[in-house]
Structure 1
Amino acid sequence: MKFTKILAGTAVTLSLLAPTAWAETRVTYKSAKSSSSYYQMGVQIAEAMKAGTDGNVIVTVEESQGSVQNVMEARARGGDYVFTTPPALVGLAQGGKAMFEGKGDPAFDEIRALFPIPSLTMHFVMAEKSGVENFADMEGKTILLGSGSFGAREGEKYLKLFGLEGKVTIADSELSNAVSALKNGQIDGFVTAGSYPAPNVIEAAASTPVNVISMSDDQVAASKRTRLVIPAGTYAGQDADIVTTSLPVAAFATTKMDDETAYLLTKTFWERQAELGEAAAWWQGVTPDMLSNITSAIHPGAVKYYKEVGVELSDAHM
C-alpha cells in the first residue's frame, strides 16, 4: 500500500468538515478488561484524540469482557460507539456463524472499520537454561498456558499442531504467575498473546535470559493465522527477528456514526500515531498496510481520509 506521510502540524482546512464535527464530540471506546494492555491502549487513544483535536473529541474508555461482547453491543449502541475486535469476528457476526450462530442481527451488517490497532501476537517464551530453541525441543518441558484467554487456547492448539500433545507438562497456574515461576525455575516456559512488545515478556527477559521461539513458514501456514515478525532487539537478549503469528485487531464503529466524526477519529489517530509510538512501543508496528487484514467495509468517513492521503483500499472496504 502507498501511504503519503503527513507532516506533524499540517494545517487543516476547517471548511472541509461540517461545523458539528468541531463542536465537542463524545465517543465511548469499548476495548477489554481494565487489567489488559488493550484497555491501556484505549486510554492512550483517548488522550491522543483529546490532544489532537484541542479537546473537541472526548473519548470515554469502557471496560469490556471481550471482543464478542463488543460486537454484540453494536446492535443496541448509538453513533458514539467505537469498539475493538478482531476483523474475523465481524465476519462471523455478519454471517451468523460460530459464537454468533442463532444470534444474527441486521445491525451487524452496519459495522464499519476505522483503523487497525496492535495485533494479538503469539509469544512462546522459554528460559534459556531450558535449552529450548524450537518447538521440537519443548518435549518433556513444563509450559504455562494459563486459562480462558486467546493465548491459552491458541497455545494449546499449537502444541497439538506441532506434535507436542501429551509430550509437555502443562503447569496448573495463572498467566499472572508466569514471570516469577520462570525466574524461580518452576516452569521452563510460558505462552502469552498480546501486542508486542508484551509487558510480561519484557519483564521476563529483563529478569532471566529467555528465548522467544520463532516459527517456520510451514508452522505459520499450519496455524492459519497471520504471519508477523517481531524485530530483533525488541526484547533483551533477542539478536534476531522472531517469526510468529498474530490475530489482527481493529477499531470499529457502525453506520450510525456520522461521516464527519469517523473522518475526524481516523485522521487524528494517524496524525498522532507517531507520538503514540514514542509513548508506547506497541504502536510502532501499526501501519496502513494492516488495513489489508480488515476484510469488511470501512466507514465512509474513514474512507474519505484514506483516499486523501493515498492509501489504496480493496473493493471489500468500500
Structure 2
Amino acid sequence: MKHLKKISLAVITSMAIAMPSMAETRITYKSAKTTSSYYQMAVQIAEAMKSGSSGDIIVTVEESQGSVQNVMEVRARGGDYVFTTPPALVRLAKAGKAMFEGKGDPKFNEIRALFPIPSLTMHFVVSENSGIKDFAGLEGKKILLGKGSFGAKEGAKYLKLFGLEGKVDLANVELSNAVPALKNGQIDGFVTAGSYPAPNVIEAAASTGVKVLSLTSDQIKASKRKELTIPAGTYSGQDADITTTSLPVVAYTTTAMDEDTAYQLTKTYWEQKETMGQAAAWWNGVTNDLLSNIEGKIHPGAIRYYTEKGITLNKAQQ
C-alpha cells in the first residue's frame, strides 16, 4: 500500500507540474528589424500578452527583414504564427501580383486578420524659420527624404504627384541626422514615416520650432492612401489637427490557428492597449475605427471578441 501511495503521489506531482505547461500557449510574432519602432511594438505586445493572460500566453518576437518576408513565411508556418504587414500586401499575395508574382501559394488564401496596430504615418516636417506653410512652399527648399525606407519612397512619390519633382533640393543626409541638420539650418525640412507620435518629430518639435504640413483632400485622394488625423497637441507647438496619409498595419495569423487562441490574443491585446499606451503614446492612436482598414477576412476567433464587444464588421471581413 505504501508503494502504491508513493506511485500515486508521484503521478499527482507530475500532473501538477505538467498542467501549467499544458495551459500555456506559445506564439511566434514576426515583426520588423530590431532597429525599427515596430520591433519595439512587438516587444511591448509580447509583454502585454504575458501580463494580461497571467502567463498563459507566451509570445516570442522574431526579427524580420520586412513585411513581404512576413507574408511569404505563411507558406511554411503553423497555427502559432502571427505576423504584421499592411493589408495591401495580403491582397497582392492572394492575387499573386507585384512582388508575389510567380510565388503564389494556396496558404495565402488562409491568412486572417486579428487586430490593427499603429499605422505608418507620413510626416512632412519643416522648420518655422523656413517659412514653408504648404506643399507649394517646398519649391526651392532643401528637404531630406532619406534612403530606401517607406517614408523616402512615399515622399518622393508625393513630390512627383504634387508637381514638385526636380523643384526641391534633396539633401544627401541620413534620416538619423535629420533633427540636428534641421536645428543647424542645413535643411529646411525632412520627411519621415512611422507611428505617431514619431520620436524624431517629438525631438524636432521640442528642440526647434517646426510645422508638420497637412495635405488637402485632393492630395490625399491622389496619394491613394488612407487619410489620418494627428490630433492637435500631439507635438510641441501644434495647435491644430494635422491631416495626413497613412499605410495601415495589421497583425495577422492563418486559419491554422484555433479559434480559442485567436480569441484570447485579440481580447488580451485590446484589454492591454491602454496600459501599453501609458508606456508608449503610439498605441493611443489605435482605435476600433482602424478595423475598417482591414481588407478581407478576420479570424473567427477575433470575430467572436468583436461581436461580444458590439463592434460592427463589414461583410467582407466576416
Equivalent position of 1:13 in the other structure: none
Q: Post-superposition shift, 1:305?
A: 0.8
User: Contact (CA 8 Å) 1:22, 1:56: kept in 2 or not?
Assistant: no
Q: Secondary structure at the match of 1:75?
A: helix
Task: Tell me: CA distance 1:139–1:48, structure 2 relative to 1, closer, same or farther (3 Å).
Answer: same
Equivalent position of 2:308 in the other structure: 308
Equivalent position of 1:15 in the other structure: none
User: Contact (CA 8 Å) 1:161, 1:222: kept in 2 or not?
Assistant: yes
Amino acid at match of 1:73: E
Q: Post-superposition shift, 1:174?
A: 1.5
Identity across matched positions, percent: 74
Amino acid at match of 1:52: G
CA distance in 2, matches of 1:289, 1:230: 14
Equivalent position of 1:221 in the other structure: 221
Q: Which has the larger radius of gyration?
A: 2
CA distance in 2, matches of 1:160, 1:53: 48
CA distance in 1, matches of 2:22, 2:246: 37
Aligned length: 300
Q: What are the superposed Cα offsets for residues 50-91 of structure 1, whole Å, 9 maximum, x if unpaired?
A: 000000101111111111110011111111110000011100
Q: Post-superposition shift, 1:277?
A: 1.4
User: Contact (CA 8 Å) 1:21, 1:260: kept in 2 or not?
Assistant: no
Equivalent position of 2:150 in the other structure: 150
Amino acid at match of 2:115: F
Note if 1:137 corresponds to 2:173: no
Equivalent position of 1:187 in the other structure: 187
CA distance in 2, matches of 1:223, 1:252: 25
Superposition map of 1:125-274 within 5 A: 125-274=125-274
CA distance in 1, matches of 2:207, 2:61: 32
Task: Tell me: CA distance 1:22–1:158, structure 2 relative to 1, closer, same or farther (3 Å).
Answer: farther
Q: Which consecutive residues of structure 1, in runs of 5 or more, have no partner in the other structure?
A: 1-18
Equivalent position of 1:66 in the other structure: 66
Q: Post-superposition shift, 1:274?
A: 1.2
Task: Tell me: CA distance 1:22–1:250, structure 2 relative to 1, closer, same or farther (3 Å).
Answer: farther
CA distance in 1, matches of 2:186, 2:211: 16
Equivalent position of 2:78 in the other structure: 78
Q: What are the superposed Cα offsets for residues 284-309 of structure 1, whole Å, 9 maximum, x if unpaired?
A: 11111211111111111111111111
Q: Secondary structure at the match of 1:272?
A: helix
Q: Post-superposition shift, 1:179?
A: 0.9
CA distance in 2, matches of 1:22, 1:51: 18
Q: Post-superposition shift, 1:166?
A: 0.5
Runs of 4+ displaced beyond 6 Å: 19-22
Superposition map of 1:267-306 within 5 A: 267-306=267-306
CA distance in 2, matches of 1:250, 1:64: 15
User: Contact (CA 8 Å) 1:117, 1:249: kept in 2 or not?
Assistant: yes
Which structure has more helix as a fraction of its residues? 2
Q: Post-superposition shift, 1:21?
A: 11
Q: Secondary structure at the match of 2:65?
A: coil
Q: Which consecutive residues of structure 2, in runs of 5 or more, have no partner in the other structure?
A: 1-18
Q: Secondary structure at the match of 1:316?
A: helix
Superposition map of 1:26-65 within 5 A: 26-65=26-65
CA distance in 1, matches of 2:64, 2:133: 36
CA distance in 1, matches of 2:239, 2:55: 42
CA RMSD of aligned residues (A): 1.3
CA distance in 2, matches of 1:211, 1:41: 27
Equivalent position of 2:12 in the other structure: none
CA distance in 1, matches of 2:230, 2:313: 26
Task: Tell me: CA distance 1:85–1:21, structure 2 relative to 1, closer, same or farther (3 Å).
Answer: farther
User: Contact (CA 8 Å) 1:144, 1:190: kept in 2 or not?
Assistant: yes
Q: Secondary structure at the match of 1:291?
A: helix
Amino acid at match of 2:305: Y
CA distance in 1, matches of 2:312, 2:292: 10
CA distance in 2, matches of 1:198, 1:263: 30
CA distance in 2, matches of 1:84, 1:278: 22
CA distance in 2, matches of 1:176, 1:112: 35
Q: Post-superposition shift, 1:192?
A: 0.3
Q: Post-superposition shift, 1:22?
A: 7.8
User: Contact (CA 8 Å) 1:21, 1:261: kept in 2 or not?
Assistant: no
Q: What are the superposed Cα offsets for residues 149-182 of structure 1, whole Å, 9 maximum, x if unpaired?
A: 1101100000011111010011112211111111
User: Contact (CA 8 Å) 1:30, 1:82: kept in 2 or not?
Assistant: yes
Task: Tell me: CA distance 1:22–1:193, structure 2 relative to 1, closer, same or farther (3 Å).
Answer: farther
Higher normalized contact order (CA 8 Å, seq sep 6+, divided by chain length)? 1
Provide the TM-score with structure 1 as the length reference: 0.92
Q: Secondary structure at the match of 1:193?
A: strand
CA distance in 2, matches of 1:163, 1:128: 23
CA distance in 1, matches of 2:135, 2:98: 30
